[in-house]
């Protein structure tokens, strides 16, 4: 199983978050770096992959769209196990 841990406790920007996914998922150069493109890439994963996202309680609202995108993608892709941690 592939394991991806996205630690967003630091002041991470949306661009930095996409950069992390781009590296950890080995996304192509044409990756659009937006939530629609991320959804497309996550739903096309064919290897069992655990994605863990860590956020500070104060930033939960900031990353709500990311949570929804990942949850929606995991609901249609049986290879994705999504975990979250609020600290």
pLDDT at 82: 96
Give the per-residue pLDDT at 46.
95
Domain that holds residue 38: 2-86
Contact between residue 49 and residue 1 where contact means Cβ atoms under 8 Å apart: yes
CATH (domain of 61): 3.30.370.10
pLDDT, position 58: 92
The per-residue pLDDT for 11 is 72
Contact, 45 vs 25, CB < 8 A? Answer: yes
Scan for tokens 């069992």, then name that residue: 48
DSSP 62: T
Q: How many separate domains does the chain show?
A: 1
Predicted pLDDT of residue 74 = 97
Reported confidence tier of residue 78, pLDDT bands at 50, 70, 90: very high
Tens digits of residue pLDDT in 10-26 = 878 999 989 988 998 88
- 82: tokens are 């999504």
**pLDDT tens-place string over residues 17-73:** 899 889 988 898 899 999 999 999 999 999 999 999 999 999 999 999 999 999 999
């Amino acid at each position: 199983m592939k394991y991806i841990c996205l630690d967003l406790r630091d002041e991470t920007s949306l661009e930095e978050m996409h950069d992390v996914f781009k590296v950890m998922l080995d996304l192509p150069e044409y990756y659009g770096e937006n939530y629609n493109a991320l959804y497309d890439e996550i739903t096309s994963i064919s290897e069992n992959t655990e994605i863990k996202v860590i956020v500070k309680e104060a930033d939960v609202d900031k990353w709500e769209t990311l949570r929804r995108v990942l949850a929606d993608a995991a609901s249609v892709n049986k290879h994705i196990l999504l975990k979250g941690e609020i600290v």
